Structure 1
Amino acid sequence: MTTDPNRFDGRVALVTGAARGIGARIAATLAERGATVAQADVRDDWDAGLPGGGHTRHRVDVRSAGSCTGLVAEVLDRHGRLDLLVNNAGVVRRGPAATMSEDDFTAVVDVNLTGTFRMCQAAYPALRDTHGAVVNIGSTNGHIAVLNTLGYCVSKAGVMHMARVLALEWAPDLIRVNAVGPTIVPTDMTADLRGDPAYLADKMATIPLGRMAEPQDVANAVAYLLSDAAAMVTGQTIFVDGGVTIH
């Protein structure tokens, strides 16, 4: 193992929702810092490959406990260990709460919240063996109320609180669990919002630093929380939001 607390040489990281966007950037950042990365997603259209060798791609549907346990088994079979888990897989459905269908609400909660639980539970035995670390991807929407995104807001609040509860439960196993809460990031998930000039102007007005968070901003925070530089940090959420949650 490296003595640089910001490096991941010799460690295996599993990132869900890794095909594109934030997940792809997280995977690349961990690879750049020496990790062997198992990228997992339900989709088939992947961004470019990762730097270095030994990385693997896997299919996972976090709506299925069997798929999650099968993914961990694949990672252990290919790499022999699991040190780091990033729960990034997520979806959004937008619309007023009064008219949102139950299917739309439960679909978001099932992927974002219950899917994170399934992955954490599936990975726990392997992480216990390596005294590993977990980061859940939350959102500022899980901290502040946002119109027309009830399922997303509730699910992201849940994954951030899940990090606190698991941090408490798994501390005796020396597993650290944290979360990152970004503001709006320019990815496919926010393309419709970014295409609305009025919405975007209002959104930018809520961000004191005056810009969106880039995928690399999120990846840097995730890498810090997974690293030995954060060896005494657990149960926390870092908001990568340019100051949204301070007012």
Structure 2
Amino acid sequence: MAESYKHRAVPALDVFKPDIFKDKVVFVTGGGSGICYAVTETLMRLGAKAAIVGRNAERLRGAADSLSKATQSQAIATPADVRKIETLQHAVKQTIEQFGKIDFVICGAAGNFMAPIEGLSPNAFRTVVEIDLLGTFNTVRATMEEVKKSHGNYLHISATLHYSGLPWQAAPSAAKAGVDALSAALAVELGPYGVRSNCIAPGLIAGTEGADRLVPQGQDEMVLGFMPMQRIGQKDDIANAAVYLFSEAASWITGQILVVDGGSVHFRGPFLPYPDSVLDTKSFKSLFPGSKM
């Protein structure tokens, strides 16, 4: 039998012009860790300056220092809670005082955990929706006037969870579906101002909290069986997609959702045994240590 072929993840600097984002400023919620940290680092290596947003001020300052040292560009920490628009407005004010403008906005703050609906409290559901969906709306409202001035871009980090009825993912599925709809409305309303709005929907990305939570323990090989490209995604895969969507090469692309998942969206199905995982939820709790019951 022939062996499967695996494309490698390619760093952005191997493909894109080094100063493609010279003098650009990016405002990033969730920029202190995970996918958004990696995207921010890539944009900075390509010339951008960054303001990263998160709730933990000390951790955020450490992340900003690391980004600045790694890229020879400048990142600042602008602490805020995306659920509270006044804190985002303050973060925007700090960004303008430091850099004078905002060209790009990445709405990447997110919350997620595994839980069947019967184990999902109203407060837990509300928390995920407030971080993912309300947080995206608040970020847009806080930055909108500055992005209109720069004829800039919004990029929302979405997901593929809601493309089917995925067990144990009701809250983030509902929230990300709302993010997709909000991005489309934003594209229509702000298009005449020269502003674009798009989503990236990542698949499973190695080294992220999302992958740690969503993959059942000991089931890595099973998960690969759902991926036509035969590998788990890397943060570089998402960063490269972001570079393209922010670049002038995508100047006629708005209101779209770019799925970056190695083709696994075409093998939609739960990573849990079905229907056993919904008929006897407690039997599968051990596969997801952080799940709610």
TM range (shorter): over 0.9
Give distance in 2, aligned partners of 1:52 and 1:125. Answer: 29
The answer to whether the 8 Å contact 1:208/1:242 transfers is yes
The equivalent position to 2:67 in structure 1, one of 35, 49, 53, is 49
The equivalent position to 1:188 in structure 2, one of 182, 189, 209, is 209
Matched, 1:229 2:249: yes
Normalising by structure 2, we get a TM-score of: 0.78
The equivalent position to 2:223 in structure 1, one of 199, 203, 207, is 203
Give distance in 2, aligned partners of 1:162 and 1:73. Answer: 24
Q: Which residue of 1 aligns with 2:136?
A: 116
Normalising by structure 1, we get a TM-score of: 0.92
Give distance in 2, aligned partners of 1:31 and 1:53. Answer: 6
- SS of 1:218's partner is helix
Paired AA for residue 177 in structure 1: S
Q: Which residue of 2 aligns with 1:241?
A: 261
1:1-80 matches, cutoff 5 A = 7-43=20-56, 44-45=58-59, 46-47=62-63, 48-50=66-68, 51-80=71-100
Paired AA for residue 25 in structure 1: A
How many pairs does the alignment contain? 243
Which stretches of structure 1, 4 residues or longer, exceed 4 Å deviation after superposition?
Answer: none
- SS of 1:178's partner is strand
Distance 1:118 1:242, change over 3 A: same
- SS of 1:197's partner is coil
* Structure 2: gaps (5+ residues): 1-16, 268-293
Give distance in 1, aligned partners of 2:246 and 2:142. Answer: 18
Paired AA for residue 19 in structure 1: G
- Per-residue deviation, 1:139: 0.7
Give distance in 2, aligned partners of 1:140 and 1:155. Answer: 11
- Per-residue deviation, 1:6: 7.7
The answer to whether the 8 Å contact 1:9/1:33 transfers is yes
Deviations 1:216-240 (A, max 9, x none): 1111111211111111110011000
Paired AA for residue 182 in structure 1: P
Deviations 1:138-187 (A, max 9, x none): 01113233210110111112112211111011101110000000011121
* Structure 1: gaps (5+ residues): none
Paired AA for residue 38 in structure 2: R
- RMSD across aligned C-alpha pairs, in angstroms? 1.7
Give distance in 1, aligned partners of 2:222 and 2:159. Answer: 18
- Which one has the largest radius of gyration? 2
Deviations 1:67-103 (A, max 9, x none): 1111111111111111000011111022101221011
- Per-residue deviation, 1:27: 0.7
Question: Taking every aligned residue pair, what percent have the same amino acid on both sides?
Answer: 27
Give distance in 1, aligned partners of 2:170 and 2:215. Answer: 19
Paired AA for residue 183 in structure 2: A
